[in-house]
């Protein structure tokens, strides 16, 4: 398997310098690209995303410092290693190069061994930098997964709590409402010392009440209207049953015949929220009237 080409972009306004560097780097695994000034160098760097840039400091139009700053500010090519080229062995030049983001320096005239050494060193440094970046990304991903896992655990507990609350509600309803009615019906049927017709009338009344209670429990758990006709019809039925049971009027202008349908999960969630809100009103507010406002992106129901 052949080695991946190592792309080197030479940015220098001097033709002799460009050709000299290209001659020193004429190797099978090196792919050489050239730019005659800083503006062209930035454009070519964006197009090819080189492995390293050899950048001259002193150039017309845009000097190497400005080119380096612009490259470092571009997310697409900001991590490309940069070697600054200068004929000046000046401390200020090197400091300024470091300040704008250069990785290394190369002085004219060029030495082939020094150039190869600096490229190899920079490749190792760049590879190490990439490893660090990948490690940071991995740690960030693990942290996000941990947070997501905690959120899922919290949601799971909330679901279990909701299920347990629903079971408790059903158990209470069965014991306090249905159980008492069935017990009463049993006692009526066991009475033998009264007029049979009177017992039948009383038993029929209890049986009707029992059927009504069972129907109410079924509707509270999952109304058929929610699946068959949608949220407006289910809410309208809920308001009527709530008012009949509690004598608390519910003001609204929801059209139960509206054909607009929501996503099934949204309809179920909204219905449960309204149902729970009405239950809390009846238990804790001590009012004779309530108002339900339903707001959607498509329209507003009050």
pLDDT digits (tens, 9 = 90+) for 104-124: 888 888 878 888 888 888 777
State whether 103 and 154 are in the same domain.
Answer: no
Is position 125 within any domain? no
Average pLDDT over residues 205-216: 76
Does some domain include residue 16?
yes
Backbone angles phi, psi at 34, to 5 degrees: -130, 150
Residue 117 lies in a domain: no
CA dihedral for 284, 285, 290, 296, sign (positive or negative): negative
Do 215 and 241 sit in the same domain of this protein? no
Q: Is 42 domain-assigned? A: yes
Identify the CATH number of the domain in which residue 68 sits. 3.40.50.2300
Residues 142 and 86 in one domain: no
Strands 82-86 and 52-56: parallel
What's the rounded mean pLDDT across residues 121-128? 72
Task: Give percent of the chain with pLDDT exceeding 90.
Answer: 15
Among the candidates 221, 238, 257, a domain finishes at 221
Using 50, 70 and 90 to split pLDDT, how confident is the model at 302?
very low
Question: pLDDT tens digits for 35-52?
Answer: 999 999 999 999 999 989
- For 73, phi then psi, to 5°, come to -85, -5
Q: Catalogue the long-range contacts made by 83-89 (C-beta closer than 8 Å, 24 or more residues apart).
A: 83/52, 83/53, 83/54, 83/55, 83/118, 83/119, 83/122, 84/55, 84/56, 84/57, 85/12, 85/17, 85/54, 85/55, 85/56, 85/57, 86/56, 86/57, 86/58, 87/58, 88/57
Residue 116 lies in a domain: no
Check whether residue 232 and residue 281 sit in a common domain. yes
Query: Do 216 and 274 belong together in one domain?
Result: no
Domain assignment of residue 251, given as a range: 223-302
Q: Does 277 lie in the same domain as 192?
A: no
pLDDT tens-digit series, residues 217-268: 766 677 777 878 888 888 888 898 889 888 999 888 787 777 777 888 888 8
With respect to residue 40, please indicate whether it lies within any of the assigned structural domains: yes
Count structural domains, the chain.
3
pLDDT digits (tens, 9 = 90+) for 3-39: 678 899 999 999 998 898 988 888 888 899 999 999 9
Q: Under a CB-based contact definition with an 8 Å cutoff, are residues 267 and 233 in contact? A: no
Q: In this structure, which long-range contacts are made by residues 121-127, counting pairs with CB atoms below 8 Å and at least 24 apart in sequence?
A: 122/52, 122/81, 122/83, 123/6, 123/51, 123/52, 125/81, 126/51, 126/52, 126/81
**Are 13 and 106 members of one domain?**
yes
Please check whether residues 106 and 146 belong to one and the same domain: no
User: Would you state the pLDDT for residue 92?
Assistant: 80
Between 157 and 76, residue with greater pLDDT: 76
> pTM to 2 decimals?
0.46
Rounded to the nearest integer, the mean pLDDT of the chain is: 81
Domain boundary among 43, 76, 110: 110
Q: Is the dihedral of CA 64, 68, 70, 76 positive or negative?
A: positive
With respect to residue 164, please indicate whether it lies within any of the assigned structural domains: yes
Instruction: Note whether 297 and 228 are same-domain residues.
Output: yes
| Contact between 44 and 9 (Cβ < 8 Å) | yes
Local structure of residue 73 (DSSP, 8 states) = T
């Amino acid at each position: 398997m052949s080695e991946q080409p190592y792309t080197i972009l030479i940015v220098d306004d001097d033709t002799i310098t460009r050709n000299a560097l290209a001659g020193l780097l004429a190797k099978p695994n090196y792919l050489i690209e050239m730019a005659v000034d800083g503006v062209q160098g930035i454009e070519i760097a964006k197009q090819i995303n080189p492995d390293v840039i050899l950048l001259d400091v002193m150039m017309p139009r845009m000097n190497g410092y400005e080119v380096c700053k612009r490259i470092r500010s571009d997310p697409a090519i900001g991590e490309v290693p940069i070697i600054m080229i200068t004929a000046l062995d000046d401390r200020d030049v090197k400091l300024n190069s470091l300040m704008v983001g250069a990785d290394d320096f190369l002085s004219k005239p060029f030495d082939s061994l020094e150039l190869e050494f600096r490229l190899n060193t920079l490749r190792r440094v760049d590879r190490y930098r990439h490893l660090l970046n990948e490690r940071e990304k991995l740690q960030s991903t693990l942290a996000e997964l941990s947070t997501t896992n905690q959120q899922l655990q919290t949601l799971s507990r909330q679901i279990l709590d909701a299920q347990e609350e629903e079971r408790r509600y059903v158990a209470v309803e069965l014991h306090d409402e249905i159980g008492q009615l069935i017990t009463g019906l049993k006692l009526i049927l066991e009475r033998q010392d009264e007029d049979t017709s009177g017992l039948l009338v009383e038993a029929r009344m209890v049986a009707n009440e029992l059927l009504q209670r069972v129907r109410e429990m079924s509707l509270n758990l999952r109304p058929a209207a929610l699946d068959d006709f949608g949220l407006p019809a289910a809410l309208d039925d809920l308001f009527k049953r709530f008012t009949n049971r509690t004598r608390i009027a519910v003001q609204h202008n929801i059209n139960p015949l509206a054909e607009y349908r929501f996503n099934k999960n949204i309809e179920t969630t909204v219905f449960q929220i309204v149902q729970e809100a009405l239950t809390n009103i009846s238990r804790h507010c001590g009012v004779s009237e309530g108002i339900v406002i339903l707001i959607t992106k498509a329209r507003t129901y009050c």
